[in-house]
Amino acid sequence: MTSSNTERRRPACRRRADGLGIARLAAIWLLIGGPLLLSAAFMVAYSVGLTGLLAHGLSFAAWAKVLGDRVTWVTLGFSFWVGGASLGVSMLGALIVLARRPARAAPPGRSDLTPWFLPIAVPPMVAGLTAVLWLGNAGALARWAYALGWIRRPADFPSPIYSTGGLGIIVTQAALVLPFLVVLFDRLSRVHRIRELGEAARTLGASPLAAWIRVGVPLLLRAATPTLGVYFLALSGAFEIPLLVGATYPTMLSVRVAQLFGQFDLSTRPQAYALALLYALVASVCAAVALRVRARPPRTERV
């Protein structure tokens, strides 16, 4: 094989490789993007009266109703409040856990974080029921408080369950997400050698707390931004826990969609699709903003 032959073949190989890459990309789009796009298109069609058993032709009445309904915006705001608060509380918890973690590393092949892996497997429904059993007005804590003489009746126990501020949902979701964040932050701190950077800061005179807050935490949060963004959206759109421990009103968005979907009045179905689409739209915008923020280099690098 002469060198000139090789030169002639190279573009062909590259072309084949390019072709394979495009085929792979197309397959991924077909498998993931296709169904998603079709579902979204179906939802759009349903919400504007182009399909559905009770559809009467093109109409934007469902959208007008959803967009003009105060409850829609209360629900959206409440969902993001609960999602943000749940994530904030669990992030704070995870950072405290890692900050208080002893400096020595676990023996090779073993992780001192093993106990944190176990709660990750708990399904949201089980977490919701557990929260009711522990934190409800007739739950385990209330019974202990009664036995100790701190309360006289179930109503005296300050239960976060069914609270209109979403406290029960926040506590339960935060408890569910905390172990995952501990494991995630631990892994990221190893990858980004955050402990070593903290030690460097301490040798330059920073206190352990200052080193953690001013060096470790910003680096960790920056590295975890995409995952945290996804978690924020997932927590804002959660269903089982808000259904089990949430108040009748305000509700989280997914619960509201389910309510509209299953009401006695069948004509509210298009509104359910419109609301779900609205959430998908807002979530997409949030995700795009988060990615753009992530893509921007940090201020120190830009200088």
For other proteins, the closer CB: 51 or 225: 51
For other proteins, the closer CB: 38 or 285: 38
Would you say 290 and 78 are in contact if contact means Cβ atoms under 8 Å apart?
A: no
Q: State whether residue 139 is helix, strand or coil.
A: coil
For other proteins, the closer CB: 145 or 217: 145
For other proteins, the closer CB: 30 or 200: 30
Question: Is the peptide bond preceding residue 154 cis, with omega within 30 degrees of 0?
Answer: no
Closest distance of CB 268 from other proteins, Å? 8
Closest distance of CB 151 from other proteins, Å? 12
Closest distance of CB 176 from other proteins, Å? 21
In the block, which residue shows the tokens 């992530």?
A: 294
Report which DSSP code applies to 237. T
Closest distance of CB 74 from other proteins, Å? 8
Q: How far apart are CA 116 and CA 118, in angstroms?
A: 6
Closest distance of CB 168 from other proteins, Å? 11
Of 216, 192, 225, 218, which Cα lies nearest the Cα of 295? Answer: 225
- The residues that touch other proteins, with contacts defined as CB under 8 A, are 37-38, 41-42, 44-46, 50-55, 71, 136-138, 153-155, 162, 164, 243, 247-249, 259, 261-266, 269
Would you say 66 and 274 are in contact if contact means Cβ atoms under 8 Å apart?
A: yes
What residues contact 104, with CB distance under 8 A and at least 6 apart? none
Residue 292's identity, in one-letter code, is R
For other proteins, the closer CB: 90 or 251: 251
